[in-house]
């Protein structure tokens, strides 16, 4: 038999005895090895450790243990600390950093029995929209190796799309789960802020960062999120409330569902080739009983400038710890302490990270704090208020995930603002701390197009339900890039 594609399929095969975890792991490791020169999706491959974990999972299965993730292979975005394994954050600054502990999300998936194949490439410190800022080189989109996979979780999206792993962890600060998921034709879920612990997840912008998952299906996202989510006393932003069984509500009918069509997302910046399949996907939801209502969020167009004040400000603070003294890259033969700081940071950070640190330091400086940072926080609240008013009328919002399909590698290197605008439809959910999900809804110009759902806080169960019901009657999420099918 061929290798099962999804987490749910792999789980059924493992529990039914059709395949062992060691066999699955070995087969996927071979795929990783074959694909790495072209895709560059992995920073580190932990083959020996993975086979040992798989053997342990097989023993648990043989002893009668049951669990939807037990023995299923996966990989982690290289922003999550993994005990005794390199954790680079895609940066020269951490190119030799071996984490002494597991992030909470890692520990919970490990406890559930998932088998880690390695660490996935990413934009440096999660700063980027194309996975081109990584110290370890860009990731290629498996649908077209000359195009970007999106960022910052490009390695996660590319690995899942190429069937190297059925699921991967990822993080989303301004769209870094949903945007690459859309560009690679897979499913990406950003949970509510505080739903998944940030302990052991290297910080970019602490009030925006949120861990999540990239998978082939909404069902698989539900299975992984159920294991990852929940309160963690080590994370002060973690929310103490029960975690539902996300998979249990997937089959709920859509009759009576009120969907808000985001007026601001269907503007002149949206490629008509993406709008066409998106409209068809919305019509399918209506055919299942959902009703459509146009909704306006007047302050949403301000989300990009607001984000690019708040996020760099927080990044300049978070990355101050990387000074060449305690851990991370250290320059050679520093003349004095000032030289140590300057050269360690100058040589350890890449251009995009330096740009955001400088921007953040500027907006926080005396004389500019009120004019920029404080004003951005006020606009952020206005955006959150717009969402709250919308959810008084509808159950969830729908729109495109990205304005265009995947662009070619290198075409936006010289214009950071153009690159930043690629996240124009995703940033609002982060500023308001809302859950959001991207799933494939068709193709435009021969490349995947994504549809995005945004819901009220802690409505992940409903977002997954709607996505699953759509995926039951379509197969966009199961279409593999040429040469990467099972």
Q: Tell me, yes or no, if 152 is annotated catalytic.
A: yes
Q: Tell me, yes or no, if 77 is annotated catalytic.
A: yes
Q: Tell me, yes or no, if 20 is annotated catalytic.
A: no
Q: How far apart are CA 168 and CA 413, in angstroms?
A: 27
Q: Which two tokens stand for residue 259?
A: 């969907």
Q: How far apart are CA 159 and CA 131, in angstroms?
A: 13
Sign of the Cα pseudo-torsion (90, 431, 141, 353, in order)? negative
Of the residues 152, 197, 438, 459, only one is catalytic, namely 152
Q: Are 45 and 29 in contact (CB under 8 A)?
A: yes
Of the residues 11, 20, 77, 438, only one is catalytic, namely 77
Of the residues 35, 91, 176, 316, only one is catalytic, namely 176
List the catalytic residues.
77, 152, 176
């Amino acid at each position: 038999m061929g290798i099962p594609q999804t987490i749910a399929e792999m789980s059924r095969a493992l529990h039914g005895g059709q395949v062992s975890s060691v066999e699955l792991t070995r087969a996927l490791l071979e795929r990783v090895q074959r694909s790495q020169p072209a895709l560059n999706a992995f920073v580190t491959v932990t083959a020996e450790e993975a086979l040992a974990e798989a053997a342990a999972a097989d023993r648990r299965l043989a002893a009668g243990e049951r669990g939807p993730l037990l023995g299923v292979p996966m990989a982690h975005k290289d922003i999550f600390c993994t005990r005794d394994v390199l954790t680079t954050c895609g940066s020269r600054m951490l190119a030799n950093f071996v984490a002494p502990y597991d992030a909470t999300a890692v520990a919970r998936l490990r406890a559930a029995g998932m088998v880690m194949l390695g660490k996935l490439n990413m934009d440096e410190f999660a700063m980027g929209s194309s996975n081109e800022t990584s110290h370890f080189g860009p990731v290629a989109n498996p649908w077209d190796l000359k195009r970007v996979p999106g960022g910052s979780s490009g390695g996660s999206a590319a690995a899942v799309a190429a069937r190297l792993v059925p699921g991967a962890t990822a993080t989303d600060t301004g769209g870094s789960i949903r945007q690459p998921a859309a560009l690679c034709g897979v499913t990406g879920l950003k949970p509510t802020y505080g739903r998944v612990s940030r302990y052991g997840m290297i910080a970019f912008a602490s009030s925006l960062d949120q861990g999540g998952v990239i998978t082939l299906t909404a069902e698989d996202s539900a299975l992984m999120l159920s294991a990852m989510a929940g309160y963690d006393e080590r994370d002060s932003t973690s929310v103490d409330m029960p975690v539902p069984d996300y998979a249990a509500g997937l089959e709920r009918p859509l009759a009576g569902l009120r969907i808000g069509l985001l007026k601001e997302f269907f503007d002149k910046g949206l490629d008509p080739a993406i709008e066409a399949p998106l409209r068809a996907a919305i019509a399918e939801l209506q055919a299942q009983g959902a009703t459509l209502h146009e909704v306006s969020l007047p302050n949403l167009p301000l989300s990009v400038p607001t984000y690019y004040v708040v996020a760099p400000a927080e990044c300049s603070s978070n990355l101050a710890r990387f000074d060449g003294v305690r851990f991370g890259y250290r320059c050679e033969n520093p003349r004095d302490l000032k030289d140590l700081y300057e050269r360690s940071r100058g040589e350890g950070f890449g251009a995009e990270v330096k740009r955001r640190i400088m921007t953040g330091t500027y907006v926080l400086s005396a004389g500019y704090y009120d004019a920029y940072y404080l004003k951005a926080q006020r606009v952020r609240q206005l955006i959150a208020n717009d969402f709250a008013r919308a959810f008084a009328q509808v159950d969830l919002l729908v729109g495109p995930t990205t304005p265009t399909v995947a662009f070619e590698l290198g075409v936006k290197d010289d214009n950071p603002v153009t690159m930043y605008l690629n996240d124009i439809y995703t940033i609002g959910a982060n500023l308001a701390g809302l859950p959001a999900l991207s799933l494939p809804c068709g193709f435009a110009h021969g490349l995947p197009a994504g549809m995005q759902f945004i819901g009220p806080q802690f409505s992940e169960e409903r977002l997954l339900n709607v996505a699953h019901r759509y995926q039951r009657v379509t197969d966009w999420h199961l279409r593999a890039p040429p040469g990467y099918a099972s």
